[in-house]
Amino acid sequence: MQLKPINQQVVAIVGASSGIGREAALRFAQRGAKVMVAARSESGLQSLVEEIQRFGGEATYIIADVSDFEQVKAIADKTVAQYGRLDTWVHAAATGVLAPFEKITPEEFQRVIDVTLMGQVHGAMAALPHLKKEGRGALIHISSMEGRRSLPLQSPYSAAKHGVEGFLEALRVELQHEKLPISVTSIKPAVINTPYYNKVRTKLGVKPTGIPPYYQPNVVVDAILYTAEHPTRDFIVGDVGRILDVLQRVSPELVDSILAVVGIPGQHTNEPKSEEGPDNLFAPTIPEYDRIKGDFDHLVIPTVSDWLEMNPPVKWGAIAVAAVGIAALLGAWRPGNDV
- SS3 label, residue 260: helix
CB count in 10 Å sphere of residue 170:
11
Out of 61, 157, 215, 226, the active site residue is: 157
DSSP 55-110: TT-EEEEEE--TTSHHHHHHHHHHHHHHHS---EEEE-----EES-GGGS-HHHHH
Residue type, 65: D
End-to-end alpha-carbon separation of the chain, Å? 48
Which neighbouring-strand residues pair with 12?
Answer: 36, 89
CA-wise closest residue to 290 among 14, 11, 22 = 22
Beta 268-272 vs 206-208: how paired, if at all? antiparallel
- Whether 226 sits among the annotated catalytic residues: the reply is no
CA-wise closest residue to 16 among 136, 51, 248 = 51
Just list the catalytic residues: 157
